[in-house]
Structure 1
């Protein structure tokens, strides 16, 4: 559901950039001050211990998004968003910062999603999941205790609703941008059902990952109630498993991704006959030039690789590694600021 710049006016893209920047600033501030309620649960793993996991999960989501799964009977495909998965393990603030890291790297280095549309993509794929789906749906379902069945139900319902909000956000953003090629009523009727199907698949996949972690190290789950403790498994072991899986997905399984257009492209194609719109402005053209200069593997492929096999493999591994580093760096930065603030507070006490 990565939006392209052609779907937006500069005004709408700019407003969404401001909204995304505000959410990033809010999230970073909450983490640096240690004010995140979800990371101050004494029964769960502390944020400092989760910092490596922040990077690993970013890499895992990056790699997983490279695998488009076919939606039977539609000619469309989908991929996971990852917002609920990240928020359920890191909390909404760290989860949003992590998904934002994934989107920035996809945009700048792989030309996946427009630069003007980056703010929209952060809100549609990150904000709705981390700050609406997670606290108001996922946590509510699990408030009276964790079981594998409840984790699966919470994952499916929260992912579906978050993705529905994100899909509706795309429709509203194109409407406000004056994209007359995509009439609101027609576009929304196509976008919502196809993303319902995608959300159901992502919800099940998210539930499977979270159930694995619950069985291995339940303290990693935000809101963990302390009813089950397995001291024999460390955070490092869970992180190592996720790193290996991310490498396998990005470096190998991504080659078998569905070639069908994703839900957004499919919806556009149903209305216009093409998966892309031919619209531009001075702002989008300028930002497009910037993106062309930074994207060393556009569309996850080498320009000289007609089969796209080597480029896809390299993109999966390199992109996952860069995401791991950036997300972990953000986490370490927030932790450093938090420790510095605590030290200064003690000095003045």
Structure 2
């Protein structure tokens, strides 16, 4: 979405306003101290009121909001050209078609509630940006490795698509034009590479807590490196001159190595809990054939309930403590281009932005007309519920699982 600059109400200051993320930034450009700034938050005349800043020198940027600013966590449309976007939609679509076929052949209806609950948990966890010490950057869970370790690569990939689709359409998180890129960078590598290259081989001779921790950390770090490198290739192919390939790569890869380490630790904690509570929920466990395999401490229903509660608490409460630092991609863009918001013009970008404006009922995970933190909490719970509904609904509508029924204690 192109950011427009608007003249403020007199005092030698201007500000920019982005409709998608409801953000206003005032900039003083003269030599006089800023004593008062009136901004137009939506449409003229001014409705946002006046904000007074005394004893402040000009040239500073002020975020006019009563809550922590939350930014897009995924690739924006401005980073991809229509041709690149179409190519990545085709690649991601092919992977989705393959996954649907494999899930039908597998025919494991017991995965349906797990797909919904784990998808909701990943949605909620992605709302939490954790600070990367000493960098001024933050990171968030991708979730592909986590989902594939529980559901398998194909079902995990489909669940990740549901999460990214809900984020894009309902919360304007990540561009609609760039959705195919985001699915490939976050879901494909995390689910297919993470599960088939890392998880499957580490668990070849049986599972253990140490193996789960090792596979989680190694898988997250490796797949995030692949995803980050893909972003740089996509911007290169799109001709984004503000982000020179060599410089962009040299910044993107190290910061996502650190983010991958933290995600690996979080993923390991969740998977170890599942392993101890109900180990057969983990992908490949039943094929291990170990006679001394541990017996779960919880029933199937109780384990699912605990995960559902964890998703609700994470989205509704823990998300309020998210770091306000830019995420790895935004931070890298700021280091290279000096800004995390590039402009893009063209019919495809305009159309995609208009569709998102129409579908985003909670843009930037917040109320459209209020700065209350309740918008973030509601977004976390509501979004998780939508992911569950979408995951379960699509499974039944498309008959991905049919035939046998499974009873759980």
Deviation at 1:22, TM superposition (A): 1.0
Correspondent of 1:34 among 100, 103, 106: 106
Unaligned segments of structure 1, at least 5 residues: 36-46, 343-349
SS of structure 2 residue aligned to 1:48: coil
Alignment partners' CA distance in 1, 2:346 and 2:202: 45
Deviation at 1:274, TM superposition (A): 1.3
Residue 392 (structure 2) aligns with: 328
Correspondent of 2:175 among 110, 114, 117: 114
Alignment partners' CA distance in 1, 2:203 and 2:102: 23
Alignment of 1:1-349 (within 5 A): 2-34=74-106, 47-224=108-285, 225-227=288-290, 228-230=293-295, 233-306=298-371, 308-333=372-397, 336-339=399-402
Alignment partners' CA distance in 1, 2:184 and 2:390: 19
Deviation at 1:226, TM superposition (A): 4.4
The structure with the largest helix share of the pair is 1
Paired positions, count: 328
Q: 1:337 to 1:242 in 2, by over 3 A?
A: closer
Deviation at 1:99, TM superposition (A): 0.4
CA-based RMSD: 1.5
Alignment partners' CA distance in 2, 1:92 and 1:194: 26
Alignment partners' CA distance in 2, 1:81 and 1:149: 22
SS of structure 2 residue aligned to 1:339: coil
Alignment partners' CA distance in 2, 1:4 and 1:62: 18
Q: Deviations over 1:21-76 (max 9, x none)?
A: 111111111111228xxxxxxxxxxx211210110000000000000000000000
Contact 1:219–1:229, Cα closer than 8 Å, also in 2? no
Alignment partners' CA distance in 1, 2:400 and 2:115: 17
Which segment is superposed worse, 107-116 or 278-287? 278-287
Q: 1:247 to 1:80 in 2, by over 3 A?
A: same
Contact 1:10–1:116, Cα closer than 8 Å, also in 2? yes
Unaligned segments of structure 2, at least 5 residues: 1-72, 405-409
The structure with the largest strand share of the pair is 2
Q: Deviations over 1:158-205 (max 9, x none)?
A: 111000000000000000000000000010001000000000000010
**Larger Cα-atom Rg:** 2
Deviation at 1:282, TM superposition (A): 1.1
Contact 1:217–1:229, Cα closer than 8 Å, also in 2? no
Deviation at 1:339, TM superposition (A): 2.9
Q: Deviations over 1:192-219 (max 9, x none)?
A: 0000000000001000100011111111
Q: Deviations over 1:66-90 (max 9, x none)?
A: 0000000000000000001100110
Contact 1:16–1:119, Cα closer than 8 Å, also in 2? yes
Which segment is superposed worse, 188-197 or 131-140? 131-140
